[in-house]
Amino acid sequence: MRRPALASLLAATTAVSLTFALAFAPSRAAEEAVVIPTPAMDAAPASGIQTAVIAGGCFWGVQGVFQHTAGVVNAVSGYAGGTKATADYQTVSSGRTGHAESVEIKYDPKKISYGKILQIYFSVAHDPTQLNRQGPDSGPQYRSAIFTTSDEQKKVAEAYIAQLNSAKVFGRPIVTKVGALEAFYPAEAYHQDYLTLHPNQPYIAYNDLPKVENLKKLFADNYIEKPTLVSSAKATN
């Protein structure tokens, strides 16, 4: 399964369709938040804007979570793991490109650490125990993956996964793959800021808005009410 075609999604934003979707949905959202410990190892303090790239299912929800996270200066939906030639939505949706729907997070390490970003990622942004799927979406393009930009990020990510598995905070082992980022390709413009622009779209309302609410509940000190949108970041650069 995967999300409906984009045209259908944009046509399904009425209150009637939302009520119908929720009425026939299971009793809980696709991924539930899990309370997890902070990383025992974190990246060293740094100056300047840093980059983290993560994948955890549909990029709409992951982007939305980090757009509501303090210290994030931009969060862009896109593709990582494949080539530039195949970095488009329709091709990636085939599941044969090597790409994962990903989010590139630019953040201020003086306001949020790499470890805290990973804690939010594992806790509220997605379920790291689902292999090549996330909630209603299946295929390798929805895999759980961390694309590291340095050896330090790799060490922090691998140590945190080992820590969480050892603590058995999830009912199943974490399947998140950690590998070096080769390139990140921004997704098409209509995918950016999708959660904010389409809050009544049934897929967003059911699968993704609960993630933002869980961020607010579990990470109150890191939550901001007004999202940091891609459109705003472009306007200020």
> Shortest CA distance to 206 belongs to which of 4, 27, 14?
27
58 is catalytic: yes
CA distance 39 to 75: 22
Cα torsion 181, 99, 121, 131: sign: negative
Segment (H or E) for 4: none
Q: Rounded to whole angstroms, how far apart are CA atoms 199 and 61? A: 11
* Residues 225, 227, 233, 235, Cα dihedral to 10°: -80
Q: What residues does 54 pair with on adjacent strands?
A: 103, 146
State the Cα–Cα distance between residues 103 and 168, nearest whole angstrom: 27
**Kind of pairing between the strands at 72-80 and 50-56:** unpaired
User: Which position among 30, 43, 52, 58 bears the catalytic label?
Assistant: 58
**Helix 209-218 with 59-67: angle, nearest 10 deg:** 30
Q: Which residues are catalytic?
A: 58
